[in-house]
Amino acid sequence: MNVCRVAIIGLGRMGSTIDEEVVDYPAVALPYSIAACCAHSDRLELVAGADLLPEKRDAFGAKWGTKALYDDYVAMIEKEKPDMVAVCTKGENHAELGVAVAELGVPMLYLEKAMACSMAKADLVRDACLKNKTVFNTGVLRRFDVRYRVVREAIERGDVGEPIAAVHYAATNLLHGHIHSMDTLSYLLGDPAIRRVQGELRSGEIVDNRIEKDPNATYRMVFENGVEAWTIPAGHWEFEVLGTEGTIRSFNNGVSQSLRRLGAPVGEKKRRMLETVDLPDVTPTSAVLDCLYDLLDAQAQNRPTLGHIEVTHHITEACFAVAQSHREGGKWIDVPGVDRDLYIYHV
Provide the mean pLDDT of the chain: 97
- DSSP label at 186? H
Task: Give yes or no: residues 155 and 296 share one domain.
Answer: no
Q: What are the tens digits of pLDDT across the range 148-188?
A: 999 999 999 999 999 999 999 999 999 999 999 999 999 99
- DSSP label at 17? I
CATH number, residue 150: 3.30.360.10
Q: Residue 1 above 70 pLDDT?
A: no
Inside any domain, residue 267: yes
Residue-level pLDDT at 159: 98
Task: Give yes or no: residues 74 and 138 share one domain.
Answer: yes
Task: Give yes or no: residues 220 and 295 share one domain.
Answer: no
Question: What is the three-state SS of 38-79?
Answer: HHHCCCEEEEEEECCCHHHHHHHHHHHCCCCEECCHHHHHHH
Task: Give yes or no: residues 200 and 334 share one domain.
Answer: yes
Predicted confidence band of residue 273 (pLDDT cuts 50, 70, 90): very high
Q: What are the tens digits of pLDDT across the range 41-93?
A: 999 999 999 999 999 999 999 999 999 999 999 999 999 999 999 999 999 99
Inside any domain, residue 318: no
Portion of the chain with pLDDT greater than 90, in percent: 97
Inside any domain, residue 317: no
Inside any domain, residue 347: no
CB-based burial of residue 107 (10 Å sphere; 0-12 exposed, 13-18 middle, 19+ buried)? middle
CATH number, residue 9: 3.40.50.720
Q: Give the three-class secondary structure for 305.
A: coil
* Whole-number Cα distances in Å, 48 to 60, 66, 89, 176, 209: 10, 6, 15, 27, 38
d(CA 144, CA 139): 10
Task: Give yes or no: residues 198 and 96 share one domain.
Answer: no
Task: Give yes or no: residues 263 and 294 share one domain.
Answer: no
Task: Give yes or no: residues 160 and 267 share one domain.
Answer: yes
Q: Residue 286 above 80 pLDDT?
A: yes
How far is C-alpha 177 from the geometric centre of its chain's CA atoms? Answer: 9
Residue 202 near residue 174 (C-beta atoms within 8 A): no
Which residue range(s) make up the domain with 78?
Answer: 4-142+288-309
Task: Give yes or no: residues 232 and 83 share one domain.
Answer: no
Predicted confidence band of residue 267 (pLDDT cuts 50, 70, 90): confident
Task: Give yes or no: residues 116 and 188 share one domain.
Answer: no
Q: How many domains does the chain have?
A: 2
pLDDT mean over 211-239: 98
d(CA 29, CA 219): 29
d(CA 151, CA 16): 30
d(CA 61, CA 68): 8
Task: Give yes or no: residues 107 and 155 share one domain.
Answer: no
How far is C-alpha 25 from the geometric centre of its chain's CA atoms? Answer: 19
Task: Give yes or no: residues 110 and 173 share one domain.
Answer: no
Residue-level pLDDT at 266: 84
- DSSP label at 224? T
